[in-house]
Amino acid sequence: MHVTTSLHDRINGPDEERAVIDDPHHPIARRIGDVLRNRSPRPKTILIDDLENIEQAVRNSVRLDSLYVTEGLQLASISGAISEYGRLPTHKLSRNVVDGLFGGEKRARIFALAKAPHPARLSDLSGVEDDIVVLDGVRLVGNIGAITRTSVGFGAAGLVLLNSGLRNVFDRRLIRASRGLVFALPIVLATLDELTEYLRSERISVGTLTAHATEELESASGVAERMAIVLGSERHGVSEEIDTIANHRYAIPMSPEIESLNVSVSAGIALYERNRSIRRRT
């Protein structure tokens, strides 16, 4: 008979007294360090912090490799969301080892190593009717993560990042900022030329958000076809190259005392407006 165990059982179960790894040169600690230092655009293994993000990854068929907890961690209740994966190797690390591994970055009390999913491509955004969100020069990972969550919430087909500064979308910071939803939404790192060619070949209209546009965002509800909603950084806005291919240029009406909104706020307003217009047509 096949027996499965919950994550709670694996951490707090019969082998709770497993040895704590307190040597930073231990092979397990060194492997974690190698994953954290890897800057490859196509990593084979990624690190996922925190239970919420681990379980979100599993819900989206990410293959876990092993689990790690900090010495003294007490978890009152953990769901069995990953029980189907059987008994994963689970290791306890001392606080000193964890501090040494993560340095000045956020220290994870529970994390997993996992096989990196295949990165999404522009072609993965085809064959559906939902809008695409494009971030042009948005480099703050917190904003990208917030927009990822909003895009999932409003059913966007995917997110395209231009000049984001990210080497890959499974960056540990972005996984945290998106609350694991990077695994639920196709996120594509692309060049402007690649995106332009894709939008033309798919006949997808382009709508930019800019403070100086004369067309109010509400009019986006009248666009029946699929749209790429393009947002730039709060400081620089949408690039001239993107502006030249735009079919629509929208502004969000607001007080003249406010020059601009945070890009994640603008994305939420735009996606809400488009989502509302789609509901009215159905």
Amino acid 3: pLDDT: 35
**Is residue 2 domain-resident?**
no
Q: Where are the beta strands (DSSP E) in 97-204?
A: 110-115, 132-136, 158-162, 187-190
pTM for the predicted model, two decimal places: 0.88
Residue where a domain stops, chosen among 115, 137, 172: 115
Are 11 and 127 contained in the same domain?
A: no
Work out whether strand 158-162 and strand 187-190 pair parallel, antiparallel, or are unpaired.
parallel
Question: Domain check: are 80 and 220 in the same one?
Answer: no
In the numeric block, the tokens 């690039």 are attached to 239
Does residue 228 form part of some domain?
yes
Domain around 37: 7-115
Q: 79 falls in which pLDDT band (50, 70, 90)?
A: very low
Q: Please count the structural domains in the chain.
A: 2
Domain boundary residue, one of 100, 115, 130 = 115
| Same-domain check for residues 201 and 75 | no
User: Above 80 in pLDDT, residue 84?
Assistant: no
In a domain, 1, yes or no: no
Q: Where residue 55 sits, what CATH number does that domain have?
A: 3.30.1330.30
Q: Identify the domain boundary among 115, 149, 179.
A: 115
Q: What's the CA gap between 280 and 80, in Å, rounded?
A: 39
Least confident of 126-135, 184-193, 270-279: 270-279
